[in-house]
A and B are shown apart, each in its own frame.
Chain A
Amino acid sequence: MRILVDRVRCQNHGQCAISAPTNFELDADGELRYRESFDDEDASDIEDAVDSCPVQAITLDSDG
């Protein structure tokens, strides 16, 4: 599974960085930076990030 963020929808609120700081962060300019791949141990945090996004811009994609 990998993380996909719809950059058009994303408003850089940063709730994902609160839920799953291992994969999401806001840089010095307040822009989202994220890593697509994640370890199993972080899966539940990543799901919380998906759920918590105010604009629902994050999806998980099975990368085969």
Chain B
Amino acid sequence: MTQQLAVPHLDISSERFRMNSREMRRARADHWYARTDWGIAVLTYEDCKLLLKNPHLTQGSAKWPAHHGVVDGLYDRWWRKTLLVLEGDEHNRIRRLVNPAFSPRRIEPLRPRFRALADSLVDEWVDDGRTEFAGRFAAPYSTRVLCMMLGIDEHDWEEVYQLSSTIGLGIGITIKENIARIDDAVAELTRYAESLVAARRRSPRDDILSALVGARDEDDGRLSDQELINLIILLVFAGIDTTRNQLVLTVASFSEQPDQWEKLAADPDRYAAKAAEEALRVNPIARWVSREAGETFRYRERTIEKGTTIHLLTLSSGTDPAEYDDPDRIDLDADRSPHLAFGGGMHHCLGHFVARADIDVAVSALSTRLTDLRVGEDAEWLPDSGNTGANTLPITFTRRP
């Protein structure tokens, strides 16, 4: 009989906590989970993989605004009805209608447009030898990709980006003090979404929004107008900052492994998709995926009480030495188990095919043009909370001849 070690505690609510730390690795070596101030944090690949899809667990974020004293208003009403927090039949009915709009079949034809956008952004600063990558590439790229998909005029990207960032404050711990601004942003996006839907209804195009309007109108009543508008706001909220920060983290990770960056540059067609997956595995923007126990159940040696919050730590599962060889290194030739950075089960990230395509197109474009990547000392990193990244990412590089 091996001695059962005491369950470690990880201070994930501290701004100073880093997932990518010796402390996390020590905890993972000792035990499959850690205690935290916000429920339990699951550390190993095997357990995260199982629990992600465990039927006893719900997504569990529906009450987030209420936990912070926000119990009414536009944001709260929008949030409680987003696909992200719905469960059961209501979730499945909507998810079923929107999934096809985000499938590879819809995304693949957009790749050349993603590539043209990436190249044009790089052109703006490639001769300078330095840039602020988050503001001069990641933000405009991720926002304009979303504009493309929804058929929003790309000239409006800065306004869309601002609205997205403001709504994003709703998942931060400062939600209560910002709620008036957040509600205003939801109101403005609602008006915007209504005009987009009306335009597509008059003249459909070959874009995701038309596909959604089609799903709405084809069989009246399957997707209400309100559900469609709610979804458009969700896409603006969930599809911009996430990709922006994942691009920032991807570039930061590759700057530490120039050999893999050069390998990618030499054959982007072969390696770009793998590069995106490896960056998501070792440096994911969503540092954890949350669940809540919908009922009391037994798991391994413990009973998990109904209502327990469970954080599945993505960086920890993605770098678990029990699952991956040389786990902390990006290795474009290794055959890796799928990472869990997009969550899983019925709430698996809806936009993952879009995110994967636009990240792999971006790293193709960037690696082809830039070598000698270095991140400046003055980068402003965000804390390692549910979502991480950087406010600014100054980089220097050499332009490839």
Contact = CB atoms under 8 A, between A and B. Distances in A.
A13 B103 contact: no
Interface string A17-47: 0110000001010100000000000000000
Nearest to B54: A30
The 5 A-B residue pairs with the shortest CB-CB distance in the complex, in nearest-first order: A51-B103, A52-B99, A18-B92, A48-B100, A13-B348
B299 to A, nearest CB: 13
Contacts of A51: 99-100, 103-105
B129 interface: no
Given A18-B99, A56-B104, A12 B348 contact: no
Interface stretch (B14-22, B150-158, B300-308, B337-345): B337-345
A55 B352 CA distance: 10
Given A18-B346, A19-B96, A51-B104, 16 more contacts: A12-B53, A13-B345, A15-B346, A18-B95, A18-B96, A18-B99, A19-B100, A28-B55, A30-B54, A48-B100, A51-B99, A52-B99, A52-B103, A54-B342, A55-B338, A56-B104
Interface in A1-19: 11-15, 18-19
Contacts of A12: 53
B345 A48 contact: no
Contacts of A48: 96, 99-100
A14 B92 CA distance: 11
B277 to A, nearest CB: 12
A41 to B, nearest CB: 14
A14 B338 CA distance: 16
A55 B339 CA distance: 11
A12 B100 CA distance: 18
A13 B49 CA distance: 10
12 contacts: A11-B344, A13-B348, A14-B53, A14-B346, A18-B95, A18-B96, A19-B96, A19-B99, A30-B55, A52-B99, A52-B100, A54-B344
B99 A13 contact: no
Interface in B318-356: 338, 342, 344-346, 348, 352
A50 B96 CA distance: 12
Interface string B199-225: 000000000000000000000000000
A55 B340 CA distance: 12
Contacts of A30: 53-55
A15 B348 contact: yes
Interface in A49-64: 51-52, 54-56
Contacts of B103: 51-52
Contacts of B49: 11
A25 to B, nearest CB: 12
Nearest to A55: B338
A13 B338 contact: no
A26 B352 CA distance: 22
Contacts of A54: 342, 344, 348, 352
Contacts of B344: 11, 13, 54
Contacts of A11: 49, 53, 338, 344
Interface in B349-393: 352
B91 to A, nearest CB: 8
A43 B54 CA distance: 29
